[in-house]
Amino acid sequence: MNNSADSSRSPLCSPWLYFVVTFAWTWFFWGLGIMLQVSMESAGGSVLLLLGVLGPMLTGIGFTCLTRDRAGRRDYWARVVDVRRIGLKWFLVILLFTPILNVLAALLDILFGGQGAVWGPSIANVVSSPVSLVFAALFATLIPFIEELGWRGYVLDRLQENKSALTSSLILGVVWSLWHLPMFFIPDSYQASLGVGTLEFWLFIVGVVPLGFAFTWIYNNTRRSILAVILFHSMVNFTGELIAISERADTFAILLWFVAAIGITVLWGAKTFTHQPHGHRHTPPA
């Protein structure tokens, strides 16, 4: 993905600068949580968590304003709200990809004598409290909305200016995974419950990386729709509310994400994930 030479010359356009600023913001607030040993279930811990999560969004918006002209800034916000970029085919991919993958992981677990999966908490409670499903969906969308305004909304384009979709996805996947590290040391966070250096720890760290391939694939095939990746990220989170898979099935799910990443690369092409040569996609205003 190419921009004009002028935009590429500015040091502000470097994706690595974006990563440094994002990590500095997020890890400052999460580091405070570690030093103060505040629980994520407390009011103070929740505030620090939210302030840290804002990092990708604030830096994404900030760097867009600093490095894009008026047309580029307008394009950025249009990609957040323009539903027409997605199309029915990709809506179906967004809604069904993760549930199908988790069902396949559950079936593999059953083949090996495991339980596979049960209905998630939102489905189990839908009869007694139908509105809980709505609240779960909204909550599952909040963090993706904040994160994707930066990860895919801004820095993925910068990476793809001179790198292939494959390389960009790998870099962003590793960075995205490492960004979560402080959460393993904050009391009562989900990551802290997994432990540090445990099998669950490594499954989480490694398992985040192949997700980035699917995000890039959807993003590039929906004319760089930020809305598309927000919805897809939301479905990744929300699927756990619908289908609760066993621990072993979760391991199978991670393996299937890697299979999906390989399949996307082989079938859609490592250059762009769109069956098109590098540089033939719609490019952002410089």
pLDDT digits (tens, 9 = 90+) for 212-248: 999 999 999 999 999 999 999 999 999 988 888 889 9
Neighbours of 268 (CB within 10 A): 19
Neighbours of 22 (CB within 10 A): 25
Mean pLDDT over residues 142-157, rounded?
96
Within 8 A by CB and 6+ apart from 251, the residues are: 203
Mean pLDDT over residues 152-175, rounded?
97
Q: What is the pLDDT of residue 213?
A: 98
Q: Does residue 5 carry a pLDDT above 50?
A: no
pLDDT digits (tens, 9 = 90+) for 186-213: 998 889 999 999 999 999 999 999 999 9
Distance CA 193, CA 210 (A): 23
Q: Does residue 4 carry a pLDDT above 50?
A: no
Distance CA 14, CA 78 (A): 23
Q: What are the extents of the domains in the chain?
A: 5-268
Mean pLDDT over residues 255-280, rounded?
88
pLDDT digits (tens, 9 = 90+) for 101-120: 999 999 999 999 988 888 77
Burial code of 232-257, b = ≥16 C-beta within 10 A, e = fewer?
bbbbbbbbbbbbbbbebbbbbbbebb
Closest CA to 148 of 97, 211, 85: 211
Q: What is the pLDDT of residue 9?
A: 61
pTM of the model: 0.90
Q: Does residue 93 carry a pLDDT above 90?
A: yes
Q: What is the pLDDT of residue 18?
A: 97
Q: Does residue 274 carry a pLDDT above 70?
A: yes
More confident residue, 119 or 70: 70
